[in-house]
A and B are shown apart, each in its own frame.
Chain A
């Protein structure tokens, strides 16, 4: 018989070890999944985790992709992690990401073809504002009417997708695009473009913003009163109210920050790697960032590492699709599995496992 026993103090060692163990277990389970799909499991694991970084043939292309993909994931996950710590569940980052991109691109398209220094900074501002405003909808409904923010933020993703479709087919459609859906390509508009900063690294302004967000979040959570209040409210809401924390203010702050960061991520994406507003602009970063946030233990440094790992599975997944014919969906299932293992192993940081029968007389 297995019994769980609550630890008096959460184990730091397990808390750090759980993500590593979860990754290992996911590899094993993933290998089994790939084998069931008729793919050589070892080849699949190597293609996903090793080849993108070290295979001479692919690394030159895929190494920069690591930062390109990790940038938005980290940026969004940092914002989400603040809310998750405070018990504010924004799961509509995908929608905020879209709205940030639309607002950022909207500024660029409105100013086109003006060549001025302030075009890009204005886009950054508009992107953050767009995501922030979209997140304020669940925030205001939550604080004014106690409406569940999980459902509202998620449902707004579908609304944002409709707005995206409307924009790429209507208002923002490239007048010189021959009637095809999608906006002008911002990469070809230098004042608005978010280019690769150092050739061959994949580093663009969005990645820089991601790193800055990691540092800022670290300082906020460990050194600042607001960060303390965020942690307190998540762990013990009544104690937080007793301490004088206004729960509504925290909801607004957490949803606001995560919305703004998701909006920024969308804006950097549309001005950089994606280049244009199109119907299929969003690829699920907003949802994957939820996994990144948890895999990183809601800790800024953890999120940095988790973002890189998750980016690797994206790139490796694409490679495996191309090389081994592994379906794209397999990677999504693989990522979900990773989160399961992590949540399951979490029990070990708060509980101790006792094996063996308890004596009964």
Chain B
């Protein structure tokens, strides 16, 4: 065992990389759930984004186009969910599961020709002298644009929900859809937009996995990341800032266990591999055990079917 092989600078830098896919998916799902919709299809949208982004990047040679395609792919898939749950009033839990199962199949189908290929590299963002700062430069100022975009996105979502009128309306729809309808807000339209945003972000997160983090395409490569993103939204008590915390916490566990595996620590490899899932379960338990907070934080209409009868 050689723990000295673990370099804290690289550890933090790779933590950010590991956390970003989940951060993106979770912040998207946060907006969806704030509008009162529970979309359990995050895993399916992520993996669809992963292959759409990968395929587009390989075909065009442009990672940027890849990320764009991933967002379109994730959003397109989420619209199936939107159509079923918002217009045909299907059960959101069942439809979300169906979306995940379908997404896994569809992505494997699209991805057949792409196994073993290498995607074009995503460039680091040139931050000039910032990147040259010792230690810190390596740690936080030498990343690609998507990482920074994801951090900005957290801020934007926070501002949107907390301080904008549109965000207020979105929260109102999620809190009590009947009252929002009575005030004349278009519940279904607002929710569809939220669902599409959630799909796009999940897709982007998936593409970050296949284009940067791994970077290659394998079937089922998200391996539960979408579910962890869902858990992080609960952990965050539906608050944007805490989604960031949750995602980076998870990223830390994921990177640390990989480093420990590499260092040959005397713990079974399987236990280390399972640790991100176990930690997620543990965190969920701690959060939900706090009864008062969990009940207040969840949007009032979350997961409930809306049918405008009047």
On A, residues with C-beta under 8 Å from B are 4, 6, 37, 84, 89, 91, 141, 144-148, 150-152, 154-159, 162-163, 165-166, 170, 287, 290-291, 294, 327-337, 339-340, 343-344, 346-347, 350-351
Contact = CB atoms under 8 A, between A and B. Distances in A.
Interface residues of B, number: 50
Nearest to B90: A343
B268 to A, nearest CB: 6
A144 B234 CA distance: 17
A334 B105 contact: yes
B73 to A, nearest CB: 14
Nearest to B223: A158
Interface in B79-107: 80, 83-84, 88-91, 93-95, 97-99, 101-107
B88 A347 contact: yes
B277 A158 contact: yes
Contacts of A157: 224
Interface stretch (B29-37, B63-71, B118-126, B280-288): B280-288
Interface of B: 40, 80, 83-84, 88-91, 93-95, 97-99, 101-109, 111-112, 219, 223-224, 227-228, 230-231, 234, 268, 270-271, 273-274, 277-278, 280-281, 284-285, 288-289, 291, 294, 307, 309
A155 B289 contact: no
B62 to A, nearest CB: 25
B309 A336 contact: no
Contacts of A294: 94
A339 B307 contact: no
Nearest to A290: B97
B234 A148 contact: yes
A327 B228 CA distance: 29
Contacts of B268: 166, 170
A151 to B, nearest CB: 5
A147 B224 contact: no
Contacts of A154: 224, 227
Contact of A6 (B83, B273, B309): B309
Contact of A346 (B90, B108, B278): B90
A151 B271 contact: no
A339 B227 contact: no
A327 B115 CA distance: 13
Contacts of A165: 270
A157 B104 CA distance: 16
B280 A155 contact: yes
A141 B109 contact: no
Nearest to B284: A147
13 contacts: A6-B309, A37-B109, A141-B281, A141-B284, A141-B285, A150-B40, A151-B231, A156-B277, A158-B224, A159-B277, A290-B101, A329-B106, A343-B91
Contacts of A141: 281, 284-285, 288
A100 to B, nearest CB: 18
Contact of B102 (A4, A148, A337, A350): A337
Contact of A351 (B83, B89, B284): B89
